[in-house]
Structures are given as C-alpha cells and as structure tokens.
Amino acid sequence: MSFTKPIPAYLAQRYMGWRATTFQENRGWYRRLAEEGQRPRAMVISCCDSRVHVISIFGADQGEFFIHRNIANLVPPYEPDGDRHGTSATVEYAVTALRVAHVIVLGHSRCGGVQGCYSMCSGDAPELEEKTSFVGRWMDILRPAYETLPDADEATRLTALEHEAVRVSLRNLMTFPFVREAVEAGTLTLHGLFNDIAEGSLWTLDPPTGAFQPV
Ligand SMILES: [Zn+2]
C-alpha cells in the first residue's frame, strides 16, 4: 500500500483526545457494545453532506442508529440484477438481519446532489449526462421528479426537488419485497424527514397530505 500515508497529525491528536476522555469515561459501555453486538432500532439514510449531522441532531449514542449516507439520500428501486448495489445492500441488512423498527430518510436543504440533478435536467450540466459520470447516473434516480416540479422561482423548485428526493426514496423502499412485507406486517415503519441546515429546523413528512410539517 505504498500509495497511502499515515493520517495528518491534527487528526491523530483529535483521536488521542477522544480516547483519553470520551472513550476512557465509557469503557464499560464500549465493551458491552463489542460483546453484545449492535441492536439499532432505527436505520437512517441521509446525504453524505458534511453539514448533515445525524448523530448530533438526535443526540444519539453509539449503537443507536444504523446509518447509510450517499449523495442526496437516495434509495434506488429494487433491482436484483447481480450488480453492486451498496445502498440496497444496507437496506437489506438493516431490515432482514438487524430487523430495525424504523427506516428514516433524511433530506436536507442546499443539497449539492439535488442541485446537480436540477442542473442536469435543465440542460446546464452536460458533463453529468455522460455515461461515465457516477454522480449523473446516480442522480437519474431523481430525474423523473424534475418533471413534476411547480412552475415557480428556482429556489422554490430546488427545495421542491429536495423534498422529492425523500419521497422518491420512500416509494423506492417499498419496491423491496422484504421492506413491503415488514411494513405490511407492522414490524417496520418508514419516515420522511427534512433538515434545513441554516435554520436547524426539522420537518416531517405528513402521511395524509404528503407535505412536510415542522417537528
Ligand atoms: Zn445533500
């Protein structure tokens, strides 16, 4: 592995600080987690965006959330074609092996992935149309939603597309047979959330209306 290097000094120092404080004060808890294995009650699917701080928003501890992050918090439809489906693998593991009680799709404001999809669909980002663009082909999951956007100013349309990223993922989750079965059996519930980064606000998808309401 001659192409790798040790981590930068500032990261090593931060780690030493964590080990001397947080870890040292909770040694028993960490040992128990290691010995008993994980039993998270919820899976969270959120964006990779560094500003979306799932753990911090919910004040969560180790072992509480099974978290999957990808660009624009998208879940692709069920496609058992033998290809490498990272997101589908995490959903399968969470629902069939860990038997989580909740799957939460957490969208967010100012999402770069959604912006990219918007630009691609508007014809402003031809590079994302290339077959070799991993981001572009990933954002194809959201592409059909672009056609449903309201006739409004760009900021409103972008927010609407960010909301659609959550709805599309929830609908796609239901195309997985093991997800649908667990939902219909009442052992699994799906939830849609939206985090406004600047306001620190959290919005929840209201089932009857399909709109986002403040938590
Ligand atoms: Zn994002």
Q: How far is the CA of 200 from the centre of ligand 1 (A)?
A: 15
CB crowding 95-127: b at 16 or more within 10 Å, else e: beebebeebbbbbbbebebbbbbbebbeeebee
Q: How far is the CA of 195 from the centre of ligand 1 (A)?
A: 10
Please report, in tens digits, the pLDDT of each residue of the chain (215 residues total): 999 999 999 999 999 999 999 999 999 999 999 999 999 999 999 999 999 999 999 999 899 999 999 999 999 999 999 999 999 999 999 999 999 999 999 999 999 999 999 999 999 999 999 999 999 999 999 999 999 999 999 999 999 999 999 999 999 999 999 999 999 999 999 999 999 999 999 999 998 899 999 99
Q: How far is the CA of 95 from the centre of ligand 1 (A)?
A: 24
Q: How far is the CA of 198 from the centre of ligand 1 (A)?
A: 14
Q: What is the pLDDT of residue 57?
A: 94
Q: What is the pLDDT of residue 214?
A: 96
Query: Cα–Cα distance between 155 and 162 in angstroms, integer?
Result: 11
End-to-end Cα, the chain, rounded Å: 48
Residue 87 · residue 75 · CB < 8 Å: yes
Residue 192 · residue 170 · CB < 8 Å: yes
Q: What is the pLDDT of residue 70?
A: 98
Q: How far is the CA of 117 from the centre of ligand 1 (A)?
A: 11
Q: What is the pLDDT of residue 88?
A: 98
Q: What is the pLDDT of residue 113?
A: 98
Q: How far is the CA of 194 from the centre of ligand 1 (A)?
A: 11
Q: What is the pLDDT of residue 20?
A: 98
Neighbours of 57 (CB within 10 A): 15
Q: How far is the CA of 167 from the centre of ligand 1 (A)?
A: 15
Q: What is the pLDDT of residue 126?
A: 97
Q: How far is the CA of 119 from the centre of ligand 1 (A)?
A: 14
